[in-house]
Amino acid sequence: MTERPETGPAGDPMVEARRLSGLLIQVAERAKAEFADSVAGFDLPLHLVRAMMSLDQPAPMRDLADHLSCDRSYITGLADQLEERRLVSRVPGEDRRVKLLELTPEGRELRGQLSDAVAAHSMVLQRLTPDERRTLEPLLRKLLGDA
Amino acid sequence: MTERPETGPAGDPMVEARRLSGLLIQVAERAKAEFADSVAGFDLPLHLVRAMMSLDQPAPMRDLADHLSCDRSYITGLADQLEERRLVSRVPGEDRRVKLLELTPEGRELRGQLSDAVAAHSMVLQRLTPDERRTLEPLLRKLLGDA
DNA sequence: TATTGTTATACTCTATAACTATA
DNA sequence: TATAGTTATAGAGTATAACAATA
């Protein structure tokens, strides 16, 4: 067996890769479940919550479809439900085919509450020390591609 | 709303919590999408893949329902489809009400291929250096509650 | 009486296709 | 001709409820 200086105590790189990617999937599942739990107390279905969270800035419905990886037709339904609840409004874009979705003041207020609830329940906050959190953040950013 | 100068890395803890938990959700979504892409080439629907990945050891159908957060009745359907494909078999448990789901040899083979595909496409492998991966692993474990 | 797995059924979420209006 | 949003409809995924066998 040849010496493999890269692998160190963690062993075979393929084994490490399977282990780490498996861990990441588990964390992802946990994060998703935790997110659902965190917002369960609000009277808002999960798919509407996700739409709200995507609306940082007013955005064309098409962009929302891209961001949520769903069809444009589905966004129409989401927008209808959010408008009924007075959480967003459709505003015309410069291109007159386009409608932007914009959070109303109530929408922004609720979005803040949702963010706080998610943050408060997050395993990141509950299980990691401040030092560990500072270590984790740049790694997460790098995973997302922010060089 | 008042002007809020950039708080810097030390920043307000609540702001940090929202930022980090938001990042984690983004990573989770990315991981989920990446997982789907990685196994898209296999002729196996995603829900069957997830079931396969849960079957490390033979397990009661009930346990699988718990692990996948779905109803027992749904597991019956999954098991039927996996059995049709000769990937799992139902084996009787000690408690004669219980049936265990166990991967067949073909199932174990396929499960290995799925793991490898997921690992190979993982952003963990593609975007992080070996050092960063070694830093990340214990953090992920701690997030999952492994002391 | 409570629990496991099954069956039949119903519901929820999301996509597809066709349509209008702009570009 | 191509694109944004809408509408109506269809399909996939999953749950609910009732049931049989076992504990």
pLDDT in tens, B91-102: 999 999 999 999
Give the DSSP per-residue string, B26-66: HHHHHHHHHHHHHHTTSSS-HHHHHHHHH-SS-EEHHHHHH
B7 or B103: which leads in pLDDT = B103
Among all residues of chain B, which has the CA nearest to that of A114?
B18
Q: What is the pLDDT of residue A147?
A: 52
Q: Which residues in window 92-121 of B are less than 7 A from strand C by Cβ? A: 93, 95, 97-100
Q: What is the pLDDT of residue B18?
A: 92
Q: Which CATH class is domain B30-143?
A: mainly alpha
The nearest CA of chain B is from the CA of A37 a distance in Å of 13
* Inter-chain residue contact A122 with B21, CB threshold 8 Å: yes
Query: What is the C-alpha separation between B146 and B91, in angstroms, rounded?
Result: 31
Return the closest-CA partner of residue B49 out of B4, B107, B100: B107
The CATH-assigned architecture of domain A42-143 is Orthogonal Bundle (1.10)
Considering only CA atoms, name the residue closest to the C1' of nucleotide D20.
Answer: B97
Over residues B43-53, the pLDDT tens digits come to 899 999 999 99
**pLDDT tier for residue B14 given thresholds of 50, 70 and 90:** confident
Q: What is the pLDDT of residue A77?
A: 96
Q: What is the pLDDT of residue B100?
A: 98
pTM of this structure: 0.88
Alpha carbon B8 to chain centroid, angstroms: 34
Q: What is the pLDDT of residue A120?
A: 95
Query: Which residue ranges in chain A fall short of pLDDT 50?
Result: 1-8, 10
Query: So where are chain A's domains?
Result: 42-143
Is the pLDDT confidence value at B37 over 50? yes
Overall average pLDDT of the B75-79 stretch: 97
Q: What is the pLDDT of residue B2?
A: 42
* Inter-chain residue contact A132 with B139, CB threshold 8 Å: yes
